[in-house]
Amino acid sequence: MTVRLVVVSHSGKIADGAVELAAQMAPDVLILPAGGTDDGRIGTSLAKVLAALEQAAAGGGVVVLTDLGSAVMMAESAVEFLPEPDSVLLADAPLVEGLVAAAVAAQAGADAAAVKQAAEAVRPAPVREAPAAAEEATPGPPEATGDFELINLAGMHARPAAKIAGGLSGLEAEVTVNGVDGTSMTALMTLGAGMGSVLHVEAWGQDAAKAVKYVGGLVEAGFGEP
Amino acid sequence: MADHRTELIELDRAIGDSDHGENMDRGFKAVLEKLAEAPPATPGAALKLTAMALMSKVGGAAGPLYGTAFLRAATSLGDATDIDPAALAAAIQAARDGVVARGKAESGDKTMVDAWTPAVEAAAAEAAAGNGDVLKVLRAAAEAAEAGAVATDPLVARKGRASYLGERSAGHRDPGAVSTALILRAAAGAAE
């Protein structure tokens, strides 16, 4: 039984959109939106949050993600109304990135505590060196390499990972970033690379140089983020 | 709350986002409707129903804060049908503790806690005086909350949206402290 997720946002559109995004990466995970007030205004609604929590209750645990401060308070308060408040965990994480990470973890079969941890781990974390396992399957030395330091505040999170993976997918090249598949958004996210960590890029194939240049360009521009 | 809607809107416009009056009025209108639909059997049940209605209809941060306050007070009273002064004072304290747990504000942060905490202390003192009168407890709580709200005027906000204004939040009364005083004053009025 996979862990189920509930998204509490002030905006119905944010909740629905975040669920839509995360569901693409976790098709088997039940992710329920609880955004906006009962009459569709900006705000949070106890009825919506309770309904989502009740619908999620029968699974392998529930993890809640929230956006702004009073959505956190609403989620905490709603949990107090439940017959078993301890069955629900609140993740203290950025909504979109945290939800994606939580959904991927739940899809992989993690338990509720591990799903919460996956969500909370998307914050800039200490650099973790990835094993260079991918090289075993790759013939010969790389045809192009590059090392690029992450300068954006949030480091490698969902959006940069999506940009890198999306762009590399269109090139004729095999690319690894710190040893993981550069065309896999989720693999890139699991690097846990925060601001200041260095991405080591290796590429093979016709577009190898282009691929390294592409990643370098994105990283050096901070992915267009602060 | 409907009578004070404009006052709360004006206070919130100065240091917040001017929706507190609108939100509280809508929330308590919903409370009145729910109470009329299915009159609860006990004070605790009435407080729980109030908590749910406020949390469903208020929308802003005040929803979960007051929702938690009323829910914790309901839990404190339990199934009791007759409330004595000590139980009432304990319920007011449970409400304040709920607000503090939820909002993480302390006394002096220029929030509703600055009305709740004097109310808790006044209610406890009145209950301890042992004259067996719940009305006196409620009046003491309301008066202390009103004084507490007035005392937020010179404070610099450290919690909530007003804290974004920093020093500029001084010189304005906290809307949440005012609405807390209004709630306790209405409770005293109902008991009369």
**Residues B140-161: tens digit of each pLDDT:** 999 999 999 999 999 999 998 8
DSSP state, residue A162: H
Query: Which residues 37-96 of B are in CB contact (within 8 Å) with A?
Result: 52, 55-61, 63-65, 67-68, 71
Q: What residues of A are annotated to the active site? A: 10
Q: What is the pLDDT of residue A105?
A: 83
Find all residues with CB under 8 Å of B89, minimum gap 6, and list them.
Answer: B120, B123, B124, B126, B127, B137
Q: Give the pLDDT of residue A134.
A: 47
Comparing CA positions, the residue from B170, B56, B155 lying closest to residue B113 is B155
* Residue B56 C-alpha, separation from nearest chain A C-alpha, in angstroms: 5
Of B106, B108, B142, nearest to B123 (Cα)?
B142
pLDDT score at A126: 43
What is the torsional sign of CA A68, A71, A76, A82?
Answer: negative
Of the candidates B63, B68, B71, the beta carbon closest to that of A44 is on B63
CA–CA separation, A62 and A215 (whole Å):
36
What pLDDT is recorded for position A127?
A: 45
Count of C-beta atoms within a 10 Å radius of residue B24: 30
Nearest-by-Cβ selection for A80 from B57, B60, B68: B68
For residues A1-6, give the mean pLDDT. 93
**Which residues neighbour A104 within 8 Å (Cβ) at sequence distance 6 or greater?**
A25, A26, A118, A186, A189
Is A46 close to B55, i.e. CB distance below 8 A? yes
Which residue blocks in A3-153 are alpha helix, DSSP H? 12-25, 46-56, 69-81, 95-107, 112-120
Provide the residue type at A160 as one letter.
P
pLDDT at position B45, please?
97
pLDDT bin (cut points 50, 70, 90) of residue A139 is low
- Radius of gyration from C-alpha coordinates of chain B: 16
Q: Can you tell me the distance from the alpha carbon of A189 to that of A40, in angstroms, rounded to the nearest whole number?
A: 33
Collapsing DSSP to helix, strand or coil, A61 comes out as coil
Q: Does A44 touch chain B (CB under 8 A)?
A: yes
Q: What percent of chain A has pLDDT over 90?
A: 51
Q: pLDDT tens, A150-201?
A: 999 888 887 788 778 777 877 788 999 999 988 777 788 888 888 999 999 9
What is the arithmetic mean of pLDDT over B11-30?
93
Q: How many CB atoms lie within 10 A of CB A198?
A: 14
Least confident of A22-36, A79-93, A126-140, A206-220: A126-140
User: What tokens were used for B84?
Assistant: 């004595």
Distance CA A210, CA A173 (A): 9
Is there a contact between A166 and A155 (Cβ–Cβ < 8 Å)? Answer: no
B117 touches A: beta carbon within 8 Å:
no
- CB–CB contact B102 A73 (8 Å): yes
Prediction ipTM score: 0.76
Q: Which segments within chain A are labelled E, that is strand? A: 4-9, 31-35, 62-66, 88-90, 144-149, 174-177, 180-181, 198-204
Reading the block at residue A85, the tokens are 């408040």
pLDDT tens sequence across B8-18: 999 999 998 88
CB spacing of A77 vs B103 below 8 angstroms: no
Q: Is A60:A28 a contact under the CB 8 Å cutoff?
A: no
Tell me the average pLDDT across B180-189. Answer: 97
Q: Any chain A CB within 8 A of the CB of B102?
A: yes
Tens-digit pLDDT profile for residues B32-73 = 999 999 999 999 999 999 999 999 888 778 999 999 999 999
Which among A43, A73, A80 is the nearest to B59, CB-wise?
Answer: A43
Q: Are B83 and B135 in contact (CB under 8 A)?
A: no
Inter-chain residue contact B60 with A77, CB threshold 8 Å: no
Q: What is the percent of chain B where pLDDT is above 90?
A: 88
Which pLDDT belongs to residue A60? 86
How high does pLDDT run on average in chain A? 87
pLDDT of residue A109: 83
pLDDT tens track for A100-135 = 989 988 887 888 998 898 888 776 544 444 544 444
